[in-house]
Amino acid sequence: MASEQQLTAIKGAKVLMVGAGGIGCELLKTLALSGFRDIHIIDMDTIEVSNLNRQFLFRQSHVGQSKAKVARDAVLKFRPHINIIPYHANVKDPDFNVDFFKRFNVVLNGLDNLDARRHVNRLCLAAGVPLVESGTTGFLGQVTVHVKGRTECYECQPKPAPKTYPVCTITSTPSKFVHCVVWAKDLLFAKLFGPKNQENDLNVRSSDASSSSEQVEDVFEHKNDEDIEQYGRKIFDHVFGYNIELALSNEDTWKNRSRPRPIYSKDVIPIEPVHQNGNQGRASAAGDLSSVSAMASLGLKNPQDLWSLKENSAVLLEALKLFLSKREKEIGNLSFDKDDQLAVEFVTAAANIRASSFGIPLHSLFETKGIAGNIVHAVATTNAVIAGLIVIEAIKVLKNDVKNYRMTYCLEHPSKKMLLMPVEPFEPNKSCYVCSETPLTLEINTHCSKLRDVVDKIVKAKLGMNSPLIMQDSSLLYEVGDDLDEDEVAIYAANLEKVLSELPSPVRGGTILTVEDLQQELKCSINIKHREDFDDEKEPDGMVLSGWTQAPAVEKNGKASADNGASTSGASQAASVATEEDDDELQIIPTLTGKKRKLSDVAGAGAASSDASSAAKEPKIKRKAEEIDGNDDVVMLEDGDSTNSTKKGEP
Amino acid sequence: MDGEELTEQETALYDRQIRVWGADAQRRLSKSHILVSGLKGSVIEFCKNIVLAGVGSVTLNDDRMVTEEILSANFLVPADPNVYTGKSLAELCSDSLKEFNRMVRVSVQEGDLSNFSVDFFRKFDAVVISSCSLSTKKSVNEKCRKSLKRIAFYTVDCKDSCGEIFVDLQNYIYSKKKGDGAFECHIKYSTFEEAISVPWKSLPVRVSKLYLALRVIEKFEELEGRIPGETSAADLPKVQKLRKDLCDAQSHDESRIPDSLLERLLEGRSEFPPVCAIIGGILGQEVIKAISGKGDPMKNFFFFDAMDGKGTIEDISEVQTDLPNCNLFSAITD
C-alpha cells in the first residue's frame, strides 16, 4: 500500500485535526504511524477520568490538562521527529479563520457537537480545503468526505435536532422519565441554584401568597435567617406537594391521564430525626466537585442501585442542604454539570420523586446521569476503527483520488455480510443554503418579534452563526465584533430590543435580509414573510424558518443505555440547551435522512433507535456490479425516496 | 449476575463503556484472561483495546528483539534505542500497556508458541495469535479445543492493506434479548483446519477474494518453509503456479484470485497502520463480545481490504447451517 506516490503525499501533507478526544487520540496515533509529519491539532477540552477508558494517550496524572498538548507529547514518544502543533483552544476562536484553514491540505474532524462540526464545515468550504468528517456512538460510526463542488458538504443533509419537549409536558404532564429529568435539571435545579433572573416555568407562588396577587412571595427565596432544614422541606412540599395539588385542580388535564399523587416530605421522612449517619466527611478525594456528596453522607454507595422514594427524598434534602451549607458561594451561578456529583445526585433524586408522583418507573443515578448529561456511549474499538478509516480517506484526498472517495459506515450488525460498509459519496445538494446560495424564508410576526428573537432563535440557533452581521439592503441592523465604536455598539444593542417593523430600516413582509458570518465566510438571504399567529406548542419559536431543513428530532426514551447522545434538554421555549457531553463522540450519527438516503436506516437505525435489537434492520441497498477489479461490486444506494426529510418532531 | 460489584474506581473509569454493554459484561471482562502471541501492528492495536476495556489479565508472547521494522506500526515502544535495546518486544509492550490501565495485569510469557501445552492454554479465556505458520495455527487451535474449559481462539493477520481474522468459539451459547424476553442462542464453530478444508466449490457465493488469496499464500509459505510474512514480489511466479494447482484441484476459477492481489499480499511485509487499527478494533470488539457474552459474535472470518474499503464477515464452516448467526434454542421468560 505504501507506494512511492502515497508516501510522498503523506510526508508532504499539512493536516489539521479538530478534536483530541476519543477519535482524536486514535487518529493522531494512526496518522503518526502512517508517516504524517506535520499535524496541527485543536481541542479546547481538558482531560477527565471518564476519558481514560478509551483516550489512551492520557493517564490519570494528566487529568485537568489540555487534551491537545498531552496527546502531542504522548505521540512524540514513539515518533519523536514529527511536527505536532497543539492548540488548547476553541475551534470557533477568530484566530482559526479562513486564512488559517487555507494552510492545510486536509482537515480531519473528531468532534463531539453539531455546532463545531457546522463551523468547521463552513471554514473548509470557504478555504477550499477538503474535510474528512467522523463520528461514533457505541459500536456505530461513520466517516464521510466533503470536498467542495465534488461531494456534498456536511450540511447538505438535514441533521437530527436535539429533542425538545412541549413546555406543558415538562411542567404538568410528564409521561416518561426523561420528562422528569428535564424538569429536575432545567426547572428545579436552575431555579434553586442558577441565575436568579432566568426565565423559569416553575410555579413559585405558595398557597398563602396566591391570593395576594402581584406582591407574591417567591417560595424559592432563601432568607438569611431561615433554617436550612426547614427551607429544604418547604421546597420539597411546594414542588412535589402543593404544585401537584394545584395541577390536580385543573380537572380537564386529567380526563385522559392518570392523576399524579402529591408527595409531602413528612409522609416520606418523619420530621424529627433527619438522617445523620455520621458519615459526613467521608468524602472521596477525587476532586472539588465530587468531594461533597449526599450519597456519601447517607451511606449510599452503588450508583447503579435504584433508590426507594424515601432514599430519593433523603438524597434530595441532603443535597439541598449541602449546596446551601458547603457551596453557598456558587448558588446563583450554577448550571447543571454532569461531572458535578452533588448536582447529579440532586437531579436524580428530584426526577425520581417526580416520577414517583406520576407513576413513572424510577431510575438509578448512573442512568439519570446519562440522560441529564446527554452522555454519549463510547468504546475504544469503534474509535480505533473509525480513525483508521479517516486516515484511509485522508490519503485518497491527498492523492486527489476522487473516484475512490467513500463514505464508510461502521455497523453493529452485518448488512450484506458487511460490518464496514463503503458507499459512494453524494453530490452537493443544490438547495443547500451553506454550500450553494439558496435563499431561506422566515415566517414571522414583524409587529411583535424583536430583532433579538431573530438573532437568537434563527441566526444563532438554526443557522449556526457565531458572529453574525445582519443587513437590510445596505443598512446594517446588527453586527458583533471587537472593532466596533461605542455608538455602534449602542445602536445595535438598541436594535436588538426593537420590534422588526420598528427598526431604523423596517423589516416587513417582503423584506430580504442578508445574514452573514464573516468568520465562517457564510452569507445567506432570508425572505421575510409576515404572519400573525403561531401555534404555541408546535411553533414555540413564534417563527418558522423554511428552506432550511432539520431532520426530525430523535425521541429519547428514559433508558440511558439506548440513548444516542442527542440532547434531552430544553424544557422551556429555550428549546435546546447546549449539550454538555464531555468529549469526542458525536450526537449526529443518523445524519443520513431524507431523499435517496435509505442508508440512514443502517447507520440511523442503530444509532437512533431506542431499542438496540432493532438496529439489525436490513438496509435497503441495491447492488450494482461495477467492473473495477474482477467482478467485485460497489454498494449503491436506492434512489428517489423521501419519506422522512421534513417531518417535524412530534411535540 | 456473577460475583462482586464493580468498585467506585471501576465505575468511574469505565462509565462510558458500561453505558454500552452494561455492568454485568464489565464484571465478566474484569475476570477474563487473554493470551496474545505475535505482537504485530494489528495485535498491538488489539492489546490496547482490551487493556482499555478492562480485562483481568493480558499475557504477551513475543521473544523477538526490537528492530526498526518491527516498530513500523507499533506505538507502544518509545523510539529510543536506549529504552528498547536488550529487551524483548513482549517485555517492552508489557511495560507500556501496564500504564494504560493499572487495573489490568499485563505479563510476559517467553517461549515458542508451538511448544505450549494444553495445560498452559487452559489458563486463558481467549487466545489470540498472529503471524504464525499454518501448522502452528492448527495446533494451537486444536490445543484450545482439547481443554475442557471453552477457550475462544483467534488468528489475525495483516498484509499490506489487507487483514484477516478467524474465530473459533467452539460451541458458543449466549443469551440474546428480543423484545421483552431473552433467547438462548447456540452457534457451532469449525476449527481453523476444518474451515480451510471446506471445498472451494462449497464456499459461500462470491466469497471474499482475500480468503482464497490468503490460503494460497499460506500454503506457499508452508511448502517453502518460509517464516510467515517473509515473502516478496519475486515469489509471484511460484505463487501463480501454486494458485493454478490449487484451483485445478478444487475446480475453481483462477481469475477469482487476481495477480494484483497476490502481489500486494506478497509484498506486504510492512504493515499499513490504518488497517492495523481497523483489524485490531474489530478483533477487540469480537473478543469483548465473546468474553462478556454480550452481543452477537461473528462467525467465523472477517476480511478487510483498504482498496475497496469493505469489512466483510464470511461464514466458512464445515457444516453450513441455515441459521448461521443464531439458532433460537429456548426462550427464557423474563
- Smallest CA-to-CA distance from B270 within A388, A78, A7, A392 is with A7
> Which of the two residues, A12 and A436, has the higher pLDDT score?
A12
Check if B209 contacts A (Cβ < 8 Å). yes
Q: Which residues of A are catalytic?
A: 168
This model of the complex carries an ipTM of: 0.94
Asked if residue A169 has pLDDT above 90, the reply is no
Check if A389 contacts B (Cβ < 8 Å). yes
Q: How far is B184 from chain A (nearest CA, A)?
A: 15
Size (chain B), residues: 334
Q: Compute the distance between CA of residue B141 and CA of residue A580 in angstroms, rounded to an integer.
A: 47
> Which of the two residues, A20 and A527, has the higher pLDDT score?
A20
CB–CB of A380 and B48 under 8 A?
yes
pLDDT of res. A549: 58
Check if B49 contacts A (Cβ < 8 Å). yes
What residues of A are in contact with residue B52 (Cβ under 8 Å)?
53-54, 56, 380
CB–CB of B285 and A379 under 8 A?
yes
pLDDT of res. A146: 97
Highest mean pLDDT among A10-19, A215-224, A491-500, B62-71: A10-19
- pLDDT truncated to tens, each residue of chain B (334 aa)? 445 678 878 888 888 888 888 888 999 999 999 999 999 999 999 999 999 999 999 999 999 998 877 888 899 999 888 888 889 999 999 999 999 999 999 999 999 999 999 999 999 999 999 989 999 999 999 999 998 889 999 999 999 899 999 999 999 988 887 777 778 888 999 999 999 999 998 888 889 999 999 999 999 999 999 988 889 999 999 999 999 999 999 988 888 899 999 999 998 777 899 999 999 999 999 999 999 988 899 999 999 999 999 999 999 997 655 444 554 444 444 3
Q: How far is B65 from chain A (nearest CA, A)?
A: 17
> Which of the two residues, A617 and A221, has the higher pLDDT score?
A221
- Over residues A509-516, the mean pLDDT reads 88
Q: How far is B32 from chain A (nearest CA, A)?
A: 17
Which 3 state secondary structure label does DSSP give A647? coil
Average pLDDT for chain A:
79
CB–CB of B313 and A417 under 8 A?
yes
- Smallest CA-to-CA distance from B101 within B153, B48, B33 is with B48
In this predicted model, what pLDDT tens digit does every residue of A282-321 receive, in sequence order? 444 444 555 689 998 898 988 889 999 999 999 999 999 9
In this predicted model, what pLDDT tens digit does every residue of A58-76 receive, in sequence order? 999 999 999 999 999 999 9
Asked if residue A618 has pLDDT above 50, the reply is no
Q: Compute the distance between CA of residue A287 and CA of residue A293 in angstroms, rounded to an integer.
A: 12
What residues of B are in contact with residue A56 (Cβ under 8 Å)?
48, 52, 100
What residues of A are in contact with residue B76 (Cβ under 8 Å)?
78
Partner residues linked to A546 by β-bridges: A441
pLDDT of res. B16: 83
Closest chain A CA to residue B312: A418
Highest mean pLDDT among A174-178, A471-475, B105-109: B105-109
Say if residue A105 carries a ligand binding annotation: no
CB–CB of A385 and B282 under 8 A?
yes
What residues of B are in contact with residue A26 (Cβ under 8 Å)?
277
- Tell me the pTM: 0.80
- Over residues A240-263, the mean pLDDT reads 90
Check if B183 contacts A (Cβ < 8 Å). no
Q: Compute the distance between CA of residue B100 and CA of residue B119 in angstroms, rounded to an integer.
A: 29
Check if B22 contacts A (Cβ < 8 Å). yes
Q: How far is B132 from chain A (nearest CA, A)?
A: 22
pLDDT of res. A322: 93
Check if B48 contacts A (Cβ < 8 Å). yes
Q: Which of B75, B101, B177 sits opposite A29 (nearest CB)?
A: B75
What residues of A are in contact with residue B257 (Cβ under 8 Å)?
none
Cell numbers standing for residue B168: 473459533
Q: Which of A34, A60, A78 sits opposite B274 (nearest CB)?
A: A34
Asked if residue A363 has pLDDT above 90, the reply is yes
If phi > 0 it is left, if psi is from -120 to 50 it is alpha, else beta; for residue A570 that is left
- Over residues A343-351, the mean pLDDT reads 96
Which 3 state secondary structure label does DSSP give B19? helix
Highest mean pLDDT among A194-208, A550-564, B119-133: B119-133
| Percent of the residues in chain A that have a pLDDT greater than 90, as a whole number | 46
Q: Compute the distance between CA of residue B215 and CA of residue B221 in angstroms, rounded to an integer.
A: 10
User: Considering only A272-276, A299-303, A603-607, B165-169, which range has the smallest mean pLDDT?
Assistant: A603-607
Say if residue A410 carries a ligand binding annotation: no
H-helix segments, B67-189: 81-84, 89-100, 118-121, 134-146
In this predicted model, what pLDDT tens digit does every residue of A416-463 receive, in sequence order? 899 999 999 999 988 888 888 778 889 999 999 999 999 998 898 888
Q: Compute the distance between CA of residue B226 and CA of residue A525 in angstroms, rounded to an integer.
A: 68
Q: How far is A413 from chain B (nearest CA, A)?
A: 8
- Over residues A575-580, the mean pLDDT reads 27
Check if A629 contacts B (Cβ < 8 Å). yes
User: Considering only A251-265, A336-350, B12-26, which range has the smallest mean pLDDT?
Assistant: B12-26
Place of cell 439489525: A616
pLDDT of res. A1: 47
- Structural element, H or E, at residue A76: helix A67-78
Q: Mutation target for A interface from B9, B13, B16, B253: give the one with most A CBs within 10 A.
A: B16
Look at strands B181-188 and A140-146 and give their pairing.
unpaired
Sheet holding B171-178, edge to edge: B171-178, B181-188, B327-332
- Gap between the terminal Cα atoms of chain A: 52
Check if B232 contacts A (Cβ < 8 Å). no
Asked if residue A610 has pLDDT above 60, the reply is no
Asked if residue A584 has pLDDT above 50, the reply is no
Task: Quickly state the pLDDT bin for A557 (edges 50, 70, 90).
Answer: very low
